[in-house]
């Protein structure tokens, strides 16, 4: 049993016999050890969780699907999650305490997804309009102080406006408010909105960066004048706040307020979710709602449930909470409804649910750059659910063999 796991990289975990024993068999000894190790909040906890996910995929594969040569290629490549990808899905039965929980395990394997000879079969998915539904892209609408609206995906790269003396520059997939060399500025309010199937990055006048997910909106001043910096968010945004101890940064979200000095965090406040989730990547933030105030540390998530002022704080896998910003879906023990809500926003689809859908949890990683038909085909391969596509409407039904 190795006591130096805190310094382990992914490959170290994947070659450790005691770690493999835990992932594969969950013996009482290994369960006790690894649960205590995780509760100690080691610095490389996210690395261990990624190694565990990758190992589950390899261990769950059938011999004829994963020959030795291919398995060795995966071991050499699987930690590079940014390449074009094809997803293979495997079913894995996992017993926790007395309850049998079926986990659908999948991972990104590496290929050129434009190679038609290697595409997975489409099983029950209707081939009608299957290629019409493509992944989201960089698109947003900028509303200026005078009410003018600028479609950013079609606007020319370069200086597109001047707001309160601040130059507004469109770059490739991002918008920047530039105050360098400008002394006489005033503050006017701008708003940037992303539709379903859109995302965008904004660099605010103080240098803070905000990534907006699909169906989101950020309201902000063209320049931060005064003793603080305040913005308002709807939907989901990832913030990388420029440090300024003299001028704290506030994010207003549906009656809740987040205060930071300089840090990275994600806020998910979609109205169709159960509450507002603030996940801290690094630094420190204070969450204020009603009479409740709490401070979270890196690796923690504060949850404000709808209709409540109580703030729940828990440890989370940060990478899965912010994966959208990095071009991935990472699902951690979520049901089909949670999966489809994410797909709805990114692929701009409408979902109709059938009766008798299984209460199963999904775990895995998918690139956000593949088409909807590829994603649904991969989901069908679990033999948990099946789909029909009509235009932009997706019907979700129990799997029928």
Taking the C-alpha atoms of residue 103 and residue 364, their distance in angstroms, rounded to an integer, is: 10
Q: Per residue of the chain (401 residues), what is the pLDDT tens digit?
A: 556 888 888 888 888 888 887 776 656 677 788 888 888 878 888 888 778 767 765 654 433 333 444 444 444 433 333 333 333 333 333 333 223 333 344 433 222 223 333 333 333 444 434 456 889 999 999 999 999 999 998 888 999 999 988 999 998 889 999 987 666 778 899 999 999 999 999 999 999 999 999 999 999 999 999 899 999 999 999 999 999 989 999 999 998 999 997 799 999 999 999 899 999 999 999 999 988 999 999 999 999 998 888 899 999 989 999 999 999 988 888 899 999 999 999 999 999 999 999 888 887 788 899 889 888 888 888 888 999 999 889 999 998 87
Contact 341, 353 (CB under 8 A): no
Closest CA relative to residue 147, chosen from 195, 187, 191, 186: 191
CA nearest neighbour of 370 among 347, 388, 391: 347
pLDDT number for residue 377: 84
Q: Which two tokens stand for residue 229?
A: 């910096």
Residue 241 is classified by DSSP as: P
Nearest residue to 110 (alpha-carbon basis) of 398, 373, 365, 387: 365
CA atoms within 13 A on the CB side of 95: 6
Q: Give the separation between CA 55 and CA 20, rounded to whole angstroms.
A: 8
Res 181: pLDDT? 65
Distance CA 61, CA 54 (A): 11
Q: Which backbone phi and psi does 347 adopt, to 5 degrees?
A: -100, 0
Q: CB under 8 Å to 154, separation ≥6 — which residues? A: none
First-to-final CA distance of the chain: 44
Contact 279, 318 (CB under 8 A): yes
**What are the φ and ψ backbone dihedral angles of 58, each rounded to 5 degrees?**
-65, -45
Query: Residue 176 and residue 123: Cα distance in Å, rounded?
Result: 45
Give the closest residue to 364 by CA, choosing from 392, 336, 333.
333
pLDDT of residue 235: 97
In angstroms, the CA 89 to CA 111 distance is: 15
Q: What is the pLDDT of residue 210?
A: 98
The per-residue pLDDT for 373 is: 87
Please give the pLDDT value at position 183. 67
What's the half-sphere exposure (Cβ side, CA atoms, 13 Å) at 269?
22
Is the CB of residue 50 less than 8 Å from the CB of residue 14? no
- C-alpha span between 367 and 182 (Å, rounded): 41
Which residues touch 115 (CB under 8 Å, ≥6 apart)?
none
Tell me the pairing of strands 166-171 and 99-110.
Answer: unpaired
* Cα 70 versus chain centre, distance: 29
Tokens of 152: 């950013």
| Cβ pair 328, 320 in contact under 8 A | no
- Give 274-311 as a DSSP string: SEEEEEEEES-EEEEETTEEEEE-TTEEEEEETT---E
Q: How far apart are CA 214 and CA 196, in angstroms?
A: 5
**Predicted local distance difference test score (pLDDT) of residue 388:** 92
Q: What is the DSSP letter of 58?
A: H
The closest of 147, 139, 220, 209 to 172, measured between CA atoms, is 139
* CA 75-80-81 angle, 5° bins: 115
C-alpha 357/C-alpha 337 separation (Å) is 10
Look at residue 309 in the predicted model and tell me its pLDDT.
81
* 3-state SS class at 355: coil
Backbone angles phi, psi at 28, to 5 degrees: -55, -40
Per-residue model confidence (pLDDT) at position 59: 52
Evaluate whether 267 touches 287 at the Cβ level (below 8 Å).
no
What is the pTM for the complete model shown? 0.71
């Amino acid at each position: 049993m190795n006591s130096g796991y805190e310094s382990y990289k992914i490959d170290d975990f994947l070659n450790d016999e005691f770690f493999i024993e835990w992932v594969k068999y969950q013996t009482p000894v290994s369960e006790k050890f690894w649960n205590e190790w995780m509760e100690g909040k080691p610095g490389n906890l996210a690395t261990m969780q990624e190694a565990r996910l990758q190992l589950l995929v390899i261990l769950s594969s059938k011999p004829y699907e994963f020959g030795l040569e291919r398995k060795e290629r995966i071991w050499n490549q699987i930690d590079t999650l940014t390449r074009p990808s094809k997803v293979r899905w495997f079913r894995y039965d996992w017993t926790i305490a007395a309850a049998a929980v079926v986990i659908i395990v999948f991972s990104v394997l590496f290929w050129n997804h434009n190679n038609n000879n290697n595409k997975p079969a489409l099983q029950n998915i209707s081939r009608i309009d299957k290629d019409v539904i493509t992944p989201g892209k960089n698109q947003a609408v900028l509303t200026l102080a005078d009410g003018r609206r600028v479609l950013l995906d079609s606007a020319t790269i370069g200086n597109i406006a001047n707001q309160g003396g601040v130059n507004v520059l469109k770059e490739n997939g991002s918008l920047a408010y530039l105050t360098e060399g400008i002394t006489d500025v005033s503050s006017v309010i701008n708003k940037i909105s992303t539709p379903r199937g859109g995302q965008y990055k904004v660099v605010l006048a103080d240098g803070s960066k905000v990534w907006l997910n699909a169906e989101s909106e950020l309201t902000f001043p063209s320049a931060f004048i005064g003793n603080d910096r305040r913005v308002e968010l709807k939907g989901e945004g990832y913030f990388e706040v420029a440090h300024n101890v003299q001028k704290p940064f506030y994010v207003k979200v549906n009656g809740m307020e987040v205060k930071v000095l300089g840090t990275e965090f994600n806020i998910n406040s979609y109205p169709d979710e159960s509450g507002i989730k603030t996940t801290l990547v690094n630094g420190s933030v204070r969450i204020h709602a009603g009479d409740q105030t709490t401070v979270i540390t890196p690796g923690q998530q504060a949850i404000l449930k709808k209709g409540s002022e109580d703030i729940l704080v828990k440890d989370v896998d940060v990478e899965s909470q912010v994966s959208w910003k990095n071009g991935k879906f990472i699902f951690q023990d979520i049901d089909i409804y949670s999966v489809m809500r994410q797909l709805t926003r990114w692929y701009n689809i409408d979902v109709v649910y059938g009766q008798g859908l299984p209460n199963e949890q999904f775990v895995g990683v998918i690139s956000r750059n593949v088409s909807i038909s590829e994603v649904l085909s991969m989901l069908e391969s679990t033999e948990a659910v099946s789909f029909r596509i009509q235009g932009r409407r997706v019907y979700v039904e129990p799997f029928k063999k």
